[in-house]
Chain A
Amino acid sequence: MKTKSTLKKSSGLSLSWIVMIRVAAVLFFVSVFLIPSFAKENGNDIENGYWLWIFLGKLHPLVVHFPIGVLCVALLMEVIAWKRKSVDFMAATQVLIVVGAVSSVLAVAFGLLLSNSEDYGSTILPVHQWLGIATMVLATITALAYFRYSLLVQRTLLVFTVVVVLIAGHFGTMLTRGEDYLTSALPSDEPNEKSQSGISYAAYDGPLSDGQVQEINLQVRTILAHNCYSCHGRSKAKGKLRLDTREFVMKGGENGVILVPGHPEKSEIIRRIELSPHHRRRMPAKGKRLTREEIATIRFWIQQGVPWPQGPEKSLYRVAALEPRMPVIPPVYSGVTLPIDRFVNSYFQKNKIIWGSVVDDRTYIRRVYLDVTGLLPAPDLIDAFIRNAQQDKREQLVRALLNQNADYAQHWLTFWNDALRNDYTGAGYIDGGRSDITKWLYSSLKNNKPYDAFVRELISPEKESNGFIRGIKWRGSINASQRIEMQAAQNVSQVFLGLNIKCASCHDSFINDWRLDDAYAFANIFADSSLEINRCDKPTGKRAGTRILFAKLGKIDSAAFTKDRLKQLAEYLTQPKDGRLYRTLVNRIWAQLMGRGIIEPVDVMDKEPWSQDLLDWLASDFVVNGYDVKKLIYAILTSRTYQLPSVGVQDAESINAPEYVFRGMLRRRLTAEQFADAVSATLQPLYPDSAVENKLFPTTIEKEIPFARAALVKNDPLLSALGRPNRETVSTSRASQANLLQALELTNGVQFNEAIRRGAIRWREKYPDAVQLVRAVYRSTLGRLPGKEEEAVAVKSLGQVPTMEATQDFMWAMTLHPEFQLIY
């Protein structure tokens, strides 16, 4: 209870208090509403804020300590007052609380300004912001209460205010110092301890040998490359800082030098990489923090005076072995007998994965049909297959399908057309700047031409297969890196060797160790006269000689005629000792059948496979088997590995992520051609027979096609929307994801809806009863009967006697059903 005298005192002071409170209210209004909104109008762009607002914002960390300190002291005084049961401090407490309230208003205002001008990108910010605002509101109410209400109300409010301000302060600390600012001092929270293949620094006493310089420098560059180059490299130099050469490292960025040789403790780079993970100036700003060992390596390197080798630097990039390797097949393990499965078994054991059961017959027959022939199995065949009781019926099925040579060729044609950028129409044909290899390709696939011969005939071609290395020539002059000899060099290395020399055909590559002269020397093999080296399209006056990318494969006779040089190249590249050629091929086939390569992306064969042994064995076995692609496909399709349940991923990026773990085939979408063929075969042909590019195929083609298959027709808006590429450049994988343009094409595209319409007429005639129709369409499209609920929904939509429109709509829905669209 307040005494009279205090009441009197406070009412005596009340006028000036009220003025102060009003001032506070005005300040509050100005700061919370006007300043930030004005600031927004004048430069809501983060980088371009008005200087005054930025400046005031920067005062936030200073101002913010007033309310914390002042309110805490006020609480302390109240605690003492409460203990002593005295009111001696009342006047002082009131002053403190009003100061606390006013300063909290300012702190909030400046804080809002700061959050506008700096990008925290943290989820903590809103928490801190609202706690700060809550503090301000509470402090203001408390201040008001100190002139009106009972002591109990005052003290309760004050306690609340102080609790909230402390929590707000804590979040503020987490925002600037990192979430683990406090906990990091606790013994359990060690930085990432994953060890690198380290060097013992103790051994480096005294001056470093050349080898040691190379080694430590390589280690540092590797750390920088993996963690820093994406923002501070050739492609991007944030803060005007690059870390990819000695010169740039020493020069520093827009804020000056980043390191002091010999003095890690004075080096900005060390300070920044050692900041706690949520500090906004911490480096790397994105991604994982460096391990303790990595930091130690960089420290040591600076301590040693930033050693950098004089001569050539060791490669940062992983380079895959060129030679073939035949690993020992791991032992048989309960029921796992085939070589592929035994390799996968080792991998599973290492990764603690348990074998799942194999998929049922219906799923299996659908998979292998689509993978070998690109077609859906007919319902009767599915039933027969399920009824078949023979032990080896799956092997028999795959064998039989692989023997359907024409169907096989018509399916795999799509893959090879993409890879060899062969199409029936397209840019370049207009001026004779391009030729197609369709006839040759179709026959080669149909006859299962051994892969070594296949490659030889493309590299050292007769007329019918010269379209691949001829490239595409547009009318007029072209960029030096795109002359047809260079196109040949790029395409041969990409398709057959899983190697990208596109960068190196313009300048020394940043993504691998290939250099401009390597690319030119390789291109010269395809050139009638040695090409002048152009660097970024500027002639240099130099020439590169003539050589194959991998010198170990053989020496090209530069004096020979082009034709003979190509013959040499073809021989050298297809030798059994060129393990790279065969690894590239088996990996591509694996990726086609399993949804992802053993190495991914399939064009970067220097990347680490998820099982080196499996890849090496498949490639070596492929050579042993006479380069027989069908045998390879057979081995994969009959493996238990292939028969595992399919695996879905939540986002497409995770497929290429380094952490990828193989567990089984990835679920895939039907390709444009598979989808079109599935519609054609099950419901109604999408294309008339006349759409097939008969003239480009062997004359027997008309007898070999079940209907006008999509792989054999010109590209059109439907196929293009579904992902068939325009084959002006090599394309070795297709996006498996749906998108709006596809959906629009399927929802109201004329071509597709017209086929559905015609199909509906036929199906309705055949099955006038709704239940029969539903069952037949389910069997035809999904290879199964509808479930009870499915049938009920479908029949209801059709009505007892299906109308034309309802039949169309039902058939449309079935073709867009995920179960129809996916290979699962």
Chain B
Amino acid sequence: MKSTWNRREFLKRSSAATLAALAASAPVASILNGCRAHAEKPSADTVILLWMAGGMAHTETFDPKRYTPFEKGIEGNRVLSTFKSLPTALDGIQFSEGLQAIGSVMDKGTLIRSYVAGDMGFILHSRHQYHWHTCYEPPQTVAAPHIGSWIAKKLGPLNPVIPAFIDIGQRFTVGEAEELKAFHTSGFLGNEFGPFFIPDPSQGLESVRPPIGMDSRRFERRNQLYNDLINKSPVGEFGSDYQKESLKRSMEQAYRLLNSPESKTFDLSQEPKEVFDIYNASGRFGLGCLLARRLAEQGARFISVTTEYEPFKGFDTHENGHTRMVGMKQMIDGPVAQLIKDLDKSGRLERTLVILASEFSRDIMVEGRPDARVKEQVDQPNVLSDMKFYGMHRHFTDGCSILMFGGGIKKGFVYGKTADERPCKTVQDPVRIDQIHQTIYHALGIPEDANYEVEKRPFYTTPDGKGKPLMELLRAQ
């Protein structure tokens, strides 16, 4: 391997300023390091999370069951899938119609068909998303960090001028925004490790370039003026201390990022038109994938791209499930497949772990899980009198699909199984969220017992430090 970034390499390469910034970080937490800096030799340097927000039905996507076409008056209970199943690159594995492109790259990754989401008594999308992203169920006594923040804190940026944790596509002006904000945070780790938000990938450049209307010469002049004024000021009164230093240092870093060649990474117009068009075919999410790819190439550490959560929008299909799924598949199929292909072609897939997941699945009948149903929230008749009732409208937590590619993940591998008849719940190798997190951490070389001390007690990446990676998903090194 030519470029295996481990921590020592990182220390060597990143500038002293960045390091000082990292080391001087004074979050509430003091370091109580895991036993070793790295559990194993890492197999991944970068993580891209493709977030299917709103609950993506497994039977309509990566785990299709018997197809029942719509007829007026059909019993809902008879409907397991509303699409045909089509073959994929893997023998005997079929995907729901509309996902052929992703199907064609499955020889490069692993399909998990047995993710079991948390059972939290009552469905609240943002709460289940909180659980998926932090591994903790809210509320918590301390603010739990997002997985991206853990990674940013533990490993730091791969390229010092690119923020370690970048979150693409979620706006916070939608319903449940406050609940979404609750987990899009670095929690007690301190906001230095929080997400760098790019709500609209086509506007990515705006976040990392000088303010609107300011050319680079003026930007440079402004920065120069700032430094000159500080240098000429009577410093005696409040000489050097960490606050002043950290302010100056942070301003320098910001200036460097905004003035660096890497900032071009955020500019999607630099991409060749034919490539841009493939990603752009489905709008914001597709462009998010493109931006993620460009950022991964420039050394971002953790990137999340979401189809965006907004109540009753996107994958949150409370009605017209079938019709809307056609659109959602169009949104994800091309860009996700293209992302994998591009990363593979450039060789980056070897060191980039891509995960596609959702907070839970959906079903036409069962709300919650078969053995622990929860309060109904969807108006769904048992007999489908109208096309708008044809689709997976209830929230189902007992069987969801996750895709993983690259970064040491097995190729062409399928893990777990759901029942072929309703309830289409997990029947083999159930997977929990702490296992998913630990698998990601393991690939990155973050030990299972990684923790920081907060209020005098250790707070682990997964509850009580107990989660274990799913070694079955990883290639032997």
Residue-wise interface mask of B (35-54) relative to A, using a CB-CB cutoff of 8 A (1 in contact, 0 not): 11010110000000000000
- B313 interface residue, CB < 8 Å from A? no
Number of interface residues of B (CB under 8 A): 88
* Residues 720-762 of A at the B interface (beta carbon under 8 Å): 720-721, 723, 725-726, 728-729, 735-744, 746-748, 750, 753
Is the beta-carbon distance between A814 and B238 smaller than 8 angstroms?
Answer: no
- A651 interface residue, CB < 8 Å from B? yes
- What residues of chain A have their CB less than 8 Å away from a CB belonging to chain B? 43-45, 47-48, 230, 235-236, 238, 363, 425-431, 471-479, 481-482, 487, 490, 500, 502-503, 505, 510-511, 536, 603-604, 646, 648-653, 667-669, 717, 720-721, 723, 725-726, 728-729, 735-744, 746-748, 750, 753, 787, 789-790, 792-794, 797, 805, 809-810, 812-814, 816-819, 821-822, 824
- B333 interface residue, CB < 8 Å from A? no
Is the beta-carbon distance between A721 and B191 smaller than 8 angstroms?
Answer: yes
Is the beta-carbon distance between B32 and A236 smaller than 8 angstroms?
Answer: yes
What's the nearest-Cβ distance from chain A to residue B419, in Å?
A: 25
Report the bound CA distance from A726 to B182 in whole Å: 7
Is the beta-carbon distance between A744 and B254 smaller than 8 angstroms?
Answer: yes
- B370 interface residue, CB < 8 Å from A? no
Report the bound CA distance from A651 to B374 in whole Å: 51
Q: Which residues of B contact A746 (CB under 8 A)?
A: 251, 254
Given the known interface contacts A427-B138, A652-B242, A748-B258, the answer about A813 and B24 at a Cβ–Cβ threshold of 8 Å is no
Q: Which residues of B contact A738 (CB under 8 A)?
A: 243, 246-247, 249-251
Q: Can you list 6 pairs linking A and B with CB atoms under 8 Å apart? A: A427-B139, A479-B140, A646-B238, A652-B24, A816-B247, A819-B233
Residue-wise interface mask of B (181-215) relative to A, using a CB-CB cutoff of 8 A (1 in contact, 0 not): 11001000011101011000000001111111010
- What residues of chain B have their CB less than 8 Å away from a CB belonging to chain A? 6, 21, 24-28, 30, 32, 35-36, 38, 40-41, 119-124, 126-127, 137-143, 163, 176, 178-179, 181-182, 185, 190-192, 194, 196-197, 206-212, 214, 218, 221-222, 225-226, 228-230, 232-234, 237-244, 246-251, 253-255, 257-258, 374, 449, 451, 455-458, 464
Q: Top 5 nearest A-B pairs by Cβ distance?
A: A648-B241, A477-B121, A652-B26, A476-B122, A743-B254
Q: Which residues of A contact B208 (CB under 8 A)?
A: 744, 748
Is the beta-carbon distance between A45 and B38 smaller than 8 angstroms?
Answer: yes
What's the nearest-Cβ distance from chain A to residue B96, in Å?
A: 29
Is the beta-carbon distance between B455 and A500 smaller than 8 angstroms?
Answer: yes
Is the beta-carbon distance between A651 and B211 smaller than 8 angstroms?
Answer: no
Is the beta-carbon distance between B30 and A653 smaller than 8 angstroms?
Answer: yes
Q: Which residues of B contact A475 (CB under 8 A)?
A: 122-124, 127
Q: Which residues of B contact A824 (CB under 8 A)?
A: 237-238
Is the beta-carbon distance between A236 and B449 smaller than 8 angstroms?
Answer: yes
Say which residue of B21, B176, B178 sits within 8 Å of A740 (CB atoms). B21
Is the beta-carbon distance between A787 and B140 smaller than 8 angstroms?
Answer: no
Is the beta-carbon distance between B26 and A816 smaller than 8 angstroms?
Answer: no
Report the bound CA distance from A527 to B240 in whole Å: 52
Q: Which residues of A contact B24 (CB under 8 A)?
A: 651-652, 737
Q: Which residue of B lies closest to A47 (CB)?
A: B36
Is the beta-carbon distance between A648 and B137 smaller than 8 angstroms?
Answer: no
Given the known interface contacts A236-B35, A427-B178, the answer about A744 and B27 at a Cβ–Cβ threshold of 8 Å is no
What's the nearest-Cβ distance from chain B to residue A343, in Å?
A: 26
Is the beta-carbon distance between A739 and B238 smaller than 8 angstroms?
Answer: no
Is the beta-carbon distance between A726 and B185 smaller than 8 angstroms?
Answer: yes
Q: Which residues of B contact A230 (CB under 8 A)?
A: 32
Report the bound CA distance from A818 to B227 in whole Å: 11
Say which residue of A44, A474, A500, A651 sits within 8 Å of B124 (CB atoms). A474
Is the beta-carbon distance between B191 and A729 smaller than 8 angstroms?
Answer: no
Which of B190, B240, B241, B258 gathers most chain A CB within 10 Å?
Answer: B241
Is the beta-carbon distance between B41 and A48 smaller than 8 angstroms?
Answer: yes
Q: Which residue of B lies closest to A237 (CB)?
A: B35
Q: Which residue of A lies closest to B161 (CB)?
A: A740
Report the bound CA distance from A667 to B241 in whole Å: 8
Q: Which residue of A lies closest to B210 (CB)?
A: A748
Q: Which residues of B contact A236 (CB under 8 A)?
A: 32, 35, 449, 458
Is the beta-carbon distance between B218 and A805 smaller than 8 angstroms?
Answer: yes
Q: Which residue of A lies closest to B237 (CB)?
A: A824
Q: Which residue of A lies closest to B194 (CB)?
A: A741
Q: Which residue of A lies closest to B32 (CB)?
A: A235
Is the beta-carbon distance between B225 and A739 smaller than 8 angstroms?
Answer: no
Is the beta-carbon distance between B233 and A809 smaller than 8 angstroms?
Answer: no
Report the bound CA distance from A741 to B28 in whole Å: 17
Report the bound CA distance from A91 to B23 in whole Å: 59
